[in-house]
Amino acid sequence: MSTYALIHGGWHGAWCWERVARLLVDAGHRVVAPDLPGHGADSTAGGRLHELYVPRVCEVLDHEREPVVLVGHSSGGMIISEAAHERPERVKVLVYVSAFLLPRGKSPREVMQEDGESILLSCLIVDREKGVSIVRSERAREVFYSDCSDEDAAWAISRLQPEPIIAPAASQGVTLATLPDRTTEIPKVYIECLQDRALGPATQQKMYSKSSCQKVYSLPTSHSPFLSAPNELVRCLLDIEVTLRRLRPTTQVRD
């Protein structure tokens, strides 16, 4: 039995992992899926909530008896990278699901500005007075849930929340660029989403190609395979540990 820690991305909450968590539990594994501060059922308030994200994940890791399979979706990729830097001994493998796997020295702002396939920035309302961004409800399906059913898309859109604006100096790329990388011994796996309109497939490929990923899985989905293809996503997650036992640390394979 393994423990999977599932970390959601921006504007979402732990609710997005419900189907994946159920399938993993049915397969005999343990799952923890926290709401990050100010998301889902977490009522933490404040203007700099993003500074609490990594400490929250570190708390989750500290409560587990064994190292976990740490999974991050979208901007959750930055969070799991930083958490693994803080607690490298608590992480068995890092899994990036259509997520930011930033090259050292790169900020998410720079990555998004270079992403010609993403429509995310054009779908946001930025409220600088409140320090948050909001996904336009009429564009949310197009950017996040294009291959989901009408019912699933409506369910997810109704749960999206404002996301705190992260100052450029607070990004993971800047924070870790000047520090020794404590995650080099942790296996990394990427699950790319080939119909993604939030984080373009070419940008995903560029990021995992510049990182030491032991395996890359490809799903023909939008940005939200946890809703549109949970069974396929879980098959990838269950295959990871089996595959990594057969690979040398520097070997990269695709599926």
Question: What per-residue confidence (pLDDT) applies to 193?
Answer: 98
Question: What per-residue confidence (pLDDT) applies to 187?
Answer: 93
How far apart are the C-alpha atoms of 249 and 182, rounded to whole Å?
15
- Taken in order of first residue, the domains within the chain and their CATH numbers are 3-254 (3.40.50.1820)
Contact 63, 30 (CB under 8 A): no
Question: What per-residue confidence (pLDDT) applies to 235?
Answer: 97
* Residues contacting residue 138 through CB under 8 Å, at least 6 positions apart: none
Strand order, beta sheet including 213-219 = 30-32, 3-7, 68-73, 91-97, 188-193, 213-219, 253-254
The tens digit of pLDDT for each residue in 110-158 reads: 888 888 899 999 999 999 888 899 999 999 999 999 999 999 999 999 9
Query: Distance from CA of residue 110 to its chain's centroid?
Result: 18
Structure tokens at 228: 């549109």
Task: Among 19-28, 72-81, 235-244, name the one with the lowest average pLDDT.
Answer: 235-244
Question: What does pTM read for this prediction?
Answer: 0.91
Contact 94, 186 (CB under 8 A): yes
Share of the chain above pLDDT 90, in %: 70
Question: What per-residue confidence (pLDDT) applies to 51?
Answer: 87
Apex 209 CA angle, 83 and 79, nearest 5: 15
- Cα 210 to Cα 10, 81, 161: the distances in Å are 24, 15, 32
Structure tokens at 72: 């991050």
How far apart are the C-alpha atoms of 6 and 17, rounded to whole Å?
7
Question: What per-residue confidence (pLDDT) applies to 170?
Answer: 44
Strand 91-97 with 124-127, pairing? unpaired
